Amino acid sequence: MTPGPLTPPRTHPLAAPQFSGGRRNCSPAQKYLTMAILQTSSSPLSAGETARQGPPPQTPAGIGPRRAATFLLLLALIAAAFHGAIHATVALALRDQVYSFILLVPALCLFVGFLDRNRIFRRAGASTLVAGILAGVAAAVFGVAHLPGEQAGPAVSLMFSMLSMVVFIAAAFALCFGAPSLRAALFPLGLALFVAPWPRQYMIKPIEVIRQGSTGIAVLFFHLASVPVFREGYVLSLPRLSIRVAEECSGIHSSLALFIGSLLFGHMFLKAGWKKLLVVLAVFPIISLTNGFRIFAISMLSMYVNPAFMHGKLHRDGGFIFFTLALAILLVMIRLLRSIQPAKGPASS
């Protein structure tokens, strides 16, 4: 039998081209389809997947050199306008230990602003309306600081002058970077309000609260140690000595420093508003606890070790030790609050 003509094997229209004798046995249509398949398979995402992912994220606008230069120029003009109040505040902080924390406030504001810089300057713009409103408020506060006559004393005038300066800085910030950036920077700008020194008469009530709490805690420690104590106001009568809890023992300096620290740590480590509020409200009880323990410890050392402890270095310069103890208690509290997770709702079927 004579063999019939050979018929080429059937191939799938999308199969790879076959080679025979160094020549391609494929039609132009097969060649085109094969190249299209190879190009599509080399792409990591199909067209549908790319469409589902949406456009690539946009890069934040950022600060911009012109905005930064304008803000720094306005900052220099504000500092020049308030140079007298700034000089008086720095001199007060260097002279009076109660106000020494003011020297650290600008550095804390810059530190928080640096940590939050991406969130603050994500949508930098300009807001003349908000800047104008804040400038008006700052001018009104400045007017209160310079009331004619004796209506505002020097301490009150200095406080309102520094508050006015901070509001002017907020107005300059809104003018250069816009309302969204201003809202994002409310915490560091609000922290800057602590550069305004409160007059002594405004601290009387907080000092009395801390003195009362510290004295009560000290009496509690004496009772726990089975040491007889008789309290009459701020005077404690003990078996071998009598002590009076003075205003200096209230620890108002430590209280202010710990209060600012509670705001800072709450902003950095806590998200829920109730947790931040709880940390701030715990400052005065913690200070009363550590001050009461300080009174108890120094009194016990004076009675049973050496009477010189009552007027020694631990009494005069030991505040830092007990402030560190208060700070440790505050940090432990923040750690416990961070471990509390919000309750999850029931899973939907």
Domain boundaries, the chain: 65-192, 203-339
Below-70 pLDDT ranges, the chain:
1-62, 148-152, 248-250, 315-318, 342-349
**21 is written with which tokens?**
């004798």
Residue in the block written with tokens 């079927």 = 349
Tell me what pLDDT residue 289 has: 92
Looking at residue 91, its pLDDT comes to: 95
Q: Write down the pLDDT at residue 345.
A: 53
d(CA 52, CA 46): 10
This prediction's pTM:
0.72
CA nearest to 105, candidates 198, 207, 183: 198
**C-beta separation of 206 from 255 below 8 A:** yes
**Would the CA dihedral through 150, 156, 162, 164 be positive or negative?**
negative
Length of the chain: 349
Give the model's pLDDT for residue 25.
52
Beta-bridged to residue 237, according to DSSP, are: 230, 242
Q: Which residue has the tokens 């004393």?
A: 153
- Helices 319-339, 283-304: crossing angle, 10 deg rounding: 140
Question: The tokens of 11 are what?
Answer: 């191939």
pLDDT, one tens digit per residue, over 192-214 is: 999 999 888 888 888 888 888 88
SS3 of the chain: CCCCCCCCCCCCCCCCCCEECCEECCCHHHHHHHHHHHHHHHCCCCHHHHHHHCCCCCCCCCCCHHHHHHHHHHHHHHHHHCHHHHHHHHHHHHHCHHHHHHHHHHHHHHHHHHHCHHHHCCCCCCCHHHHHHHHHHHHHHHHHHCCCCCCCCHHHHHHHHHHHHHHHHHHHHHHHHCHHHHHHCHHHHHHHHHHCCCCHHHHHHHHHHHHHHHHHHHHHHHHHCCCCCEEECCEEECCCCEEECCHHHHCHHHHHHHHHHHHHHHHHHCCCHHHHHHHHHCHHHHHHHHHHHHHHHHHHHHHHCCHHHHHCHHHHHCHHHHHHHHHHHHHHHHHHHHHCCCCCCCCCC
